[in-house]
């Protein structure tokens, strides 16, 4: 007998019929003799609707009150699912986040879970009930309702699985797993049966938005086996676990990409200690996140310094940089917001030389110019012109034999 935490996203609970379908799936799991705790999101579109309602009152809703309204979406689905289970003769009980003491900090709209009191849930399970918990919400130490940020139900599910020492946390969604890359770009992309937390973090942060990133970090920290699978098709999905020595690893697990990048360069800055800090300091102060950073080897007494930011921050970053460049006496500032980042991801690349050269060769064969390169232990990223995104991803998918 196992203890399973299942999470169903908004598209899986978007109508009474769909909620009935979820109830059937929960019953099927339970009839195997397992205990089930279910976490649900709000019905699809509901969180956006609530946000719009709040914004119709004021363009800047107070964060605390926004959480009060946003948390109602999940309160609806927990009750409906619990009713659907009871209507099928299955004892069930619904709880809001506060009722099962999902204690968070007080950062409204993006609170972090600090503690969960699993007692009440355990008692219900012992009495043979299915426990249905509202995702995405918690309560702070003062009793205020908080929410965890968009997609936060994934994190609720993982946190509950960790607190209950569950055997597995299953994230049911509208895709049947994690793919080698986006199937809309490469139709031959293959579902991965196994991936490590580390790889998933790289894939997720680079745009494979199947799971809230924080939920993967949480799962990794508490070693919760996490499975992504489809609500609408049977199948094993993708299991996300920690790297294991015995694991037969492909060199490359997947290709992630990010269309939201922009790059900025300062040319001819003095090659002196402190300059990099001077350039990035004001950018950081403006709360602009920097991704890749490259500084060239200095030829004379000056050097060039390039970094990338989110495209939405491009104009703001450019203004700040022009100002800094002026102060530093740099020669010139330029930028490009029509670039993308493509990354090869795989824990297997640690032990295989030659991955980078194979990657660069595959791109060269398509006459794709690489504008920037960066590497980490399990990732190689290149920045290329936006128009080469599809071609580049397809070429790499092919070169590394990732297709079915």
User: Residue 110 interacts with ligand ASP (CB under 6 A)?
Assistant: no
* From candidates 11, 12, 41, 265, binder to ligand ASP by CB under 6 A: 41
Choose, by CB under 5 A, the member of 97, 135, 151, 346 that binds Mg ion.
Answer: 151
Judged by beta carbon, residue 74 or residue 304, the one nearer ligand ASP is 74
Strands 302-310 and 35-40: unpaired
**Range list of H helices, 164-210:** 197-205
42 contact choice in Mg ion, ligand ASP, none (CB below 5 to 8 Å, kind-dependent): ligand ASP
Query: Cα–Cα distance between 226 and 224 in angstroms, integer?
Result: 6
Structural contact between residues 255 and 343, judged by C-beta atoms closer than 8 angstroms: yes
Beta-bridged to residue 82, according to DSSP, are: none
Which of 66, 402 has the CB closer to ligand ASP?
A: 66
Distance CA 267, CA 299 (A): 12
Q: What CA–CA distance (Å, rounded) separates 386 from 391?
A: 10
Task: Give the nearer residue to ligand ASP in terms of CB position, either 7 or 397.
Answer: 7
Nearer to ligand ASP, 97 or 335 (CB): 97
The 68-97 site mask, x for binding ligand ASP (CB under 6 A), equals: -----x------------------------
Residues 90 and 20: beta-carbon distance below 8 Å: no
Q: Which of 47, 104, 196, 220 binds ligand ASP (CB under 6 A)?
A: 47
Of the candidate spans 68-76, 150-158, 268-276, 321-329, the one that interacts with Mg ion by CB under 5 A turns out to be 150-158
**14: contact with ligand ASP by CB under 6 A:** no
Q: Which of 164, 53, 371 is nearest to 156 (CA)?
A: 164
Integer Cα distance of 193 and 197 in angstroms: 13
Burial class (CB in 10 A: 0-12, 13-18, 19+), 301: exposed
DSSP 315-375: HHHHHHHHHHHHHHT-SEEEEEEEEEEEEEE-GGGGG-TTHHHHHHHHHHHTTPPP-EEEE
The reply on whether position 220 binds ligand ASP by CB under 6 A is no
Shorter beta-carbon distance to ligand ASP: residue 19 or 339: 19
Task: Tell me if 152 contacts Mg ion by CB under 5 A.
Answer: no
**Residue 150 binds which of Mg ion, ligand ASP, none (CB < 5-8 A, kind-dependent):** ligand ASP
14 binds Mg ion (CB under 5 A): no
Q: Rank residues 42 and 339 by Cβ distance to ligand ASP and give the closer one.
A: 42
By a kind-dependent CB cut-off of 5 to 8 A, residue 136 interacts, out of Mg ion, ligand ASP, none, with ligand ASP
Write out the residues near Mg ion by the rule CB under 5 A: 9, 151
């Amino acid at each position: 007998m196992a203890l399973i935490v299942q999470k169903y996203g908004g598209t899986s609970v978007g109508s009474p019929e769909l909620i009935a379908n979820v109830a059937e799936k929960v019953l099927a799991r339970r009839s195997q003799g397992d205990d089930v705790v279910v976490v649900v999101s709000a019905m699809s579109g509901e969180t956006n609707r609530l946000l719009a309602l709040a914004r119709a009152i004021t363009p800047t809703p107070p964060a605390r009150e926004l959480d009060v309204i946003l948390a109602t979406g999940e309160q609806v689905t927990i009750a409906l699912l619990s009713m659907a289970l009871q209507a099928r003769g299955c004892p069930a009980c619904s709880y809001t986040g506060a009722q099962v003491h999902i204690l968070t900090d007080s950062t409204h709209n993006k609170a972090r879970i600090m503690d969960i009191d699993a007692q009440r849930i355990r008692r219900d399970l012992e009495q043979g009930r299915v426990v249905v918990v509202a995702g995405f919400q918690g309560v702070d130490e003062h009793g205020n309702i908080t929410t965890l940020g968009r997609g936060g139900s994934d994190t609720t599910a993982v946190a509950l699985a960790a607190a209950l020492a569950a055997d597995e946390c299953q994230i049911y969604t509208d895709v049947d797993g994690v793919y080698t890359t986006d199937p809309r770009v490469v139709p031959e992309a293959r579902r991965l049966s196994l991936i490590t937390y580390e790889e998933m973090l790289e894939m997720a942060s680079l745009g494979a938005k199947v799971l809230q990133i924080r939920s993967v970090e949480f799962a990794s920290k508490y070693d919760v086996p996490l499975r992504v699978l489809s609500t609408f098709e049977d199948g094993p999905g993708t299991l996300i676990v920690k790297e294991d020595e015995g694991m037969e690893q492909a060199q490359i697990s997947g290709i992630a990409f990010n269309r939201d990048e922009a790059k900025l360069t300062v040319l001819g800055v003095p090659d002196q200690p402190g300059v990099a800090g001077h350039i990035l300091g004001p950018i950081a102060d403006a709360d602009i996140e920097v991704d890749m950073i490259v500084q060239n080897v200095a030829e004379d007494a000056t050097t060039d310094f390039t970094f990338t930011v989110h495209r939405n921050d491009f104009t703001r970053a450019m203004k700040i940089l022009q100002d800094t460049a002026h102060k530093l006496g740099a020669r010139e500032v330029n930028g490009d917001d029509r670039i993308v980042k493509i990354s090869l991801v795989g824990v297997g690349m640690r032990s295989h030389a030659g991955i980078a050269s194979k990657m660069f060769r595959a791109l060269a064969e398509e006459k794709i110019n690489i504008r920037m390169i960066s590497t980490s232990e399990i990732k190689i990223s290149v920045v290329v012109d936006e128009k080469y995104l599809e071609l580049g991803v397809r070429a790499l998918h092919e070169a590394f034999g990732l297709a079915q």
